Amino acid sequence: MSTPSQTVDLETYVPHVDHTYDPRDPEVALYVDDVSVRFGGVQAVSSATVAALAGQVTGLIGPNGAGKTTTFNVITGLESPTNGKVWLDNNDVSSLPPYKRARRGLARTFQRLEVFGTLTARDNILAAAEFRRSWAHDHSDPRQVADELIERVGLGHVQHERVDMLPTGLARLVELGRGLATRPKVLLLDEPGSGLDTAESEALGDLLIELAQEGIAVLVVEHDVDLVMRVCNRIHVLDFGRIICVGYPKDVQADPAVQAAYLGAED
């Protein structure tokens, strides 16, 4: 495990990358391998390496515009990186289209909601369970899966409402349930806590820990610091598209480079 960096000077700062993991390590469920993304003249992500382990909640935090959502898009294949690879379950999936990555056990939620707005909450999750059944060819009963997940993410009271009528917080839970319906090995959550009140956010935290305990590798982007610090086993900090720190929550909080990234350089 890494020790947090002590370097502050961002001009000469060498990104501290967690080298202790290899994409082929069996416990590494997701490995973002030296990924860079350029849009026009803007370097959105540069040489980012992220490892998410099975059975753990991994945090990906950083200031606005640091490249977190872009990283998620690269992992799921919605955007192509200019450089670098994505590994799922020890296999290089960089050349696979999004749907094939999903079939290998990758699910995600979106920061800007991508719900099936004209369907009910339950039908959103049911549709995902049916998708899963159609490509996994297993004998799961989608209706049963949907009912269980509705219960689990706590949407029972609104399950028959159309999703575009729901408050954002609940719609995010629909996306979470939908992702879970595909029985992922790796779950990417893009700001799942925004729009939730304190109690709901606490319940979400419990759920994330529970999911990790079931063996899922959870990678979460979140701004609610309390939530992140509570549920994450390890945290990656992204700034200007670079990973500037990897470590345990306490270490990350104390890291001067992270403070500089959030608060600006000390004069």
Q: Compare residues 130 and 200 and give the one whose CB is closer to another protein.
A: 130
- Is residue 265 involved in binding another protein (CB under 8 A)? yes
Measured distance CA(254)–CA(184) in Å, rounded: 33
Of the candidates 34, 63, 203, 233, which one interacts with another protein according to CB under 8 A?
A: 63
Of the candidates 27, 167, 206, 215, which one interacts with another protein according to CB under 8 A?
A: 167
Least distance (Å) from another protein to the CB of residue 19? 25
Angle between the 121-136 and 142-153 helix axes, to the nearest 10 degrees? 130
- Is residue 96 involved in binding another protein (CB under 8 A)? no
Please classify residue 55 by burial: count the beta carbons closer than 10 Å to its beta carbon, then call 0-12 exposed, 13-18 middle and 19+ buried.
middle
- Is residue 144 involved in binding another protein (CB under 8 A)? no
Measured distance CA(92)–CA(102) in Å, rounded: 14
- Is residue 118 involved in binding another protein (CB under 8 A)? yes
Of the candidates 93, 128, 170, 238, which one interacts with another protein according to CB under 8 A?
A: 128
User: Rounded to the nearest 10 degrees, how much is the dihedral formed by the CA atoms of 206, 210, 211, 215?
Assistant: 150
Least distance (Å) from another protein to the CB of residue 27? 24
Residue recorded with tokens 């290899």: 22
Binding mask 225-264 for another protein (x = CB under 8 A): xx--x----------x---------x--xx---xx--xxx
In one letter, which amino acid is 69? T
- Is residue 76 involved in binding another protein (CB under 8 A)? yes
Question: What is the chain's length?
Answer: 267
Long-range contacts of 226-233 (CB under 8 A, 24+ apart): 227/193, 227/201, 228/59, 228/61, 229/253, 230/205, 231/57, 231/59, 231/205, 232/57, 232/58, 232/59, 233/53, 233/56, 233/57, 233/58
**Where does this chain bind another protein (CB under 8 A)?**
10-11, 40-42, 63-66, 76-78, 97-99, 101-103, 106-108, 110, 112-119, 123-124, 126-128, 130-132, 135, 142, 162, 164-165, 167-168, 175, 178-179, 181-182, 194-195, 223, 225-226, 229, 240, 250, 253-254, 258-259, 262-267
